[in-house]
Amino acid sequence: MGKLIEELALLPIEGQEFILSGLSSDYIPIQIDDIVYVIPKEVNELIKGLADVLDKESEKRGDLLSNLEKLKK
């Protein structure tokens, strides 16, 4: 048995089809500050890529700082 989405029921059939076709695409839920957002898979991949870049930069800085601390000793 299907569920009624009241907000969709107020739209014309073309609008309902448009919204529902978008929902059937590849979307990923992410949680930020206890709020769940549903984003396209491609945006999630972009976020993961940016996070990887930040992690690598952080590692480089950490290595640089540890090397500077060794030089001080």
pLDDT digits (tens, 9 = 90+) for 57-66: 888 777 766 7
Whether 1 has a pLDDT exceeding 60, the answer reads no
* Tally of domains in the chain: 1
Whether 46 has a pLDDT exceeding 90, the answer reads yes
Q: Tell whether 38 is covered by a domain.
A: yes
Whether 53 has a pLDDT exceeding 60, the answer reads yes
- 3-44 confidence digits (pLDDT tens): 777 888 888 999 888 888 877 668 888 898 999 888 988 999
The answer to whether the CB of 20 falls within 8 A of the CB of 34 is no
Q: Tell whether 16 is covered by a domain.
A: yes
According to DSSP, the residues that pair with 28 across neighbouring strands are 39
Q: Tell whether 64 is covered by a domain.
A: yes
Q: Tell whether 40 is covered by a domain.
A: yes
Count of Cβ atoms closer than 10 Å to residue 11 Cβ: 13
Whether 55 has a pLDDT exceeding 70, the answer reads yes
The answer to whether the CB of 20 falls within 8 A of the CB of 8 is yes
Identify the domain containing residue 13 by its residue range: 6-72
Q: Tell whether 34 is covered by a domain.
A: yes
Q: Tell whether 31 is covered by a domain.
A: yes
Q: Tell whether 1 is covered by a domain.
A: no
